[in-house]
Amino acid sequence: MNFQLTEEQELIRKNIREFAAKYVEPIAAEIDENERHPTELFKKLAEGGWMGIPIPTQYGGSGADYLTNAIVVEEISRSCSSTGFTVSIHVGIACMLILLFGNEEQKKKYLVPLAKGEHMGAFVLTEPGAGTDVMAATTTAAKDGDFYVLNGTKTFISNGPLADTYLVFCWTDKAAGRKGMSSFIIPRGTPGLIPGEHFHKMGLRSSQTSEVVFKDCRVHKDNLLGKEGAGLTNAMTGFDHGRVGIAAQSVGILQAALDESIRYSKERVQMGNPIARHQAISWMIADMATDLEAARFLTYHAAWLKDQGKPFSKEASMAKLFAAEKAMHHTIKAVQIHGGYGYIKGAKVERLMRDAKITEIYEGTSEAQRMVISGNVLR
Amino acid sequence: MQRPSALGPYQKQGIPMLDIIVCFKWVVDEAFIRRTSSGDLDFSSVDYKISEYDRNAIEAAVRLREECGGSVTAVTVGPPEAAKGVKDALSRGPDRAVFAEDPLFGGLDPSQTAAVLGQVISSKTPFNLIICGEGSGDVYSQQTGPRLAEFLGIPCAAYVQKLTVKEGRVTAERKVEGFIEVDSLPLPALVTVLPDIATPRIPGVKDTLMASKKAVIKVGKNELTAVPPPLLKTKSVRAARVERECEKFTAEVEDIKRFVAALQKRGVLK
């Protein structure tokens, strides 16, 4: 058993930590407050090759592994969860799905600019009536010669307002059940693809989220991602990869909660002592540190399995479930440690607590993760 | 100790290309040093990094190469664990590295470091300009650069904040005690540089991955003539202690008098 990261992974962690401290941390509160997508920051991330880490260099990526990507998402999220997540969904789902299921031409046309960070990707699956119940989706793609005509409404689409490349999942043959859904790569500007306005959210506020509406949107059959009918399988593979990213994001949030709690509890004096010396506080911090380690190991293990070419669906769900729930639990504790100061806008722990909640909801709720895990262990 | 010929065969041929050597040290990252209740320093869980000043020196070397052409070789002396530092250095732009490696090289004093660097450089690496950080991030003795120049018998300018190379000479702008001195040195020469010389880049993902593919020449202790005995012995390292009395004064006349008296009592005012 080897718990040692490679020298490259360790150096990359140091570098992204320095990058995050220099460019992400100083703007994190502002972009949260103003719900702003920091274009200038993503340009810098693209320059450093941080937007396509596990994508091979011939497709515009950096050619590292998926564990390195998880480490980077974690470290960015430690400074700004919104930014970490935007990298995560762009790389973990949009880029990875084209890499895994796209043909050579699609990879050259769509993956290269995505992996270089020149374009942003979006994963377009959820609908107003179809969250955990993916089969309840109603968006359709009707065949018309060499074209498909899409109609329907998707919602809660991360990067929805700003993406250049949308990966869209809809029914090509509803009667075929699980084999009736297909996935398409649709570039922004395609007539009939209508991105909506940014939703105002409780947390993760600088990540841009919207509806995406399809109104007689005609796409050529060349835009099919994988075979017709493979949409659901593609989506589930996307989730497996994406969940490692959300787990990493949650680990970053947890680490930040621990960093802030340690710093504040050593400074804050009550009843003649720093509150870190009060057992009520120090035990909260002990639990936080322990759960952080456990969440990190689960996450890295899932990423490592992926890099070894082994099945990792169950482990990705376990990592995502555990890390997300612990991030929520401990960011509440971190605010408690900060007392009134933690409840004031501008306190980092206040933002962490709001940002943590979504990790229990998106890319499969905690309940959906338990369905995946129990389905795996009970079969 | 017998010194090898200061200038290697490359320099003797008078080749005009700018071949830069940049020296760096792999030091303890002070953020990980813990202070025990007895005032001792606990190094048990420390991580390491390239000395801050040296990161700027590497950046200066790489930018100079981008401007003038030529090559950059990163050179370090250290224990085997410093291999990670070699990779880190290479990810910042140098073309190759020379690593003088031995378990004992973790605790050399500046005169020893300079002697090892000098032997390695004169035997392994053609150069016409050597750049060092002004001092190391750990002990900051500021001696290694000048001692290395002395060892190689080449001119040296320390505390340089701006560098230009033209027609076989380096012009070095030195920041010293409130004024700026401009020196012109014939190449080959050595300069120690201030952090102002260049802000280091943050290596991208590919830079780090590519670093593993660059050439590293390893030099063992047995390939060197004897390392001289240290001139400096560190007897102990302890945490600095600051005593605070936490006396409070207001802006009232009585308090101001009390404040002045307190300063006088402690010898701050006479």
- Model confidence band, residue A354 (pLDDT cutoffs 50, 70, 90): very high
For B66-92, write each residue's pLDDT tens digit.
988 999 999 999 999 999 999 999 999
Within 8 A by CB and 6+ apart from A257, the residues are: A288, A327, A330, A331, A333, A334, A349, A352
Query: Average pLDDT for residues A183-187, to the nearest whole number?
Result: 98
Residue B255 lies in a domain: no
Return the CATH number at B193. 3.40.50.620
Which of A221, A218, A214 has the alpha carbon at shortest distance from A105? A221
Of A11, A48, A62, the CB nearest to B87: A11
pTM, rounded to two decimals: 0.91
Residue B56 lies in a domain: yes
What's the confidence (pLDDT) of residue B16?
A: 55
Within 8 A of A12 by CB-CB distance, chain B residues are 205, 208
Show the domain range for B176.
Answer: 11-223
Tokens of B119: 């032997």
Question: For chain B, what is the domain count?
Answer: 1
Query: Average pLDDT for residues B118-138, to the nearest whole number?
Result: 93
Contact with chain A for residue B204, Cβ under 8 A: yes
CA distance A127 to chain B (A): 36
CB A60, CB A115: distance < 8 Å: yes
Residue A8 and residue B209: Cβ atoms within 8 Å? yes
**Per-residue H/E/C for chain B:** CCCCCCCCHHHHCCCCCCEEEEECCEEECHHHCEECCCCEEECCCCCEEECHHHHHHHHHHHHHHHHHCCEEEEEEEECHHHHHHHHHHHHCCCCEEEEEECHHHHHCCHHHHHHHHHHHHHHHCCCCEEEEECCCCCCCCCCHHHHHHHHHCCCEEEEEEEEEEECCEEEEEEEECCEEEEEEEECCEEEEECHHHCCCCCCCHHHHHHHCCCEEEEEEHHHCCCCCCCCCCCCCCECCCCCCCCCCCCCCHHHHHHHHHHHHHCCCCC
Tokens of B103: 């378990």
Note the ipTM here: 0.92
User: Measured between alpha carbons, how far is A207 from A229 in angstroms, rounded to an integer?
Assistant: 31
Number of Cβ within 10 Å of residue B183's Cβ equals: 17
Within 8 A by CB and 6+ apart from B20, the residues are: B61, B64, B65, B70, B71, B72, B73, B127, B128, B129, B130, B131
Query: Average pLDDT for residues A180-206, to the nearest whole number?
Result: 97
Residue A63 and residue B206: Cβ atoms within 8 Å? yes
Chain A / chain B CB contacts < 8 angstroms: 50
Catalytic residue among A40, A325, A363, A367: A363
Query: Average pLDDT for residues A229-250, to the nearest whole number?
Result: 97
Q: Is A315 a catalytic residue?
A: no
- Model confidence band, residue B13 (pLDDT cutoffs 50, 70, 90): very low
Three-class secondary structure of residue A36 per DSSP: coil
- Between A180-189, A304-313, B7-16, the lowest mean confidence (pLDDT) is in B7-16
CB A12, CB A186: distance < 8 Å: no
Residue B269 lies in a domain: no
CA distance A43 to chain B (A): 13
Q: How deeply is B28 buried, as exposed, middle or buried, from its count of CB atoms within 10 A (0-12, 13-18, 19+)?
A: middle
Contact with chain B for residue A95, Cβ under 8 A: no
What's the confidence (pLDDT) of residue A339?
A: 97
Residue B36 lies in a domain: yes
Residue B113 lies in a domain: yes
Find the closest chain B residue to A22 by CA distance.
B202
Cα torsion A128, A131, A136, A141: sign: positive
Residue B82 lies in a domain: yes
Query: Average pLDDT for residues B86-112, to the nearest whole number?
Result: 95
Residue B242 lies in a domain: no
Residue B244 lies in a domain: no
Contact with chain A for residue B209, Cβ under 8 A: yes
In chain B, the percentage of residues whose pLDDT exceeds 90 is 68
What's the confidence (pLDDT) of residue B177?
A: 84
Mutation for testing the B interface, residue in A12, A44, A53 having most B CBs under 10 Å: A12
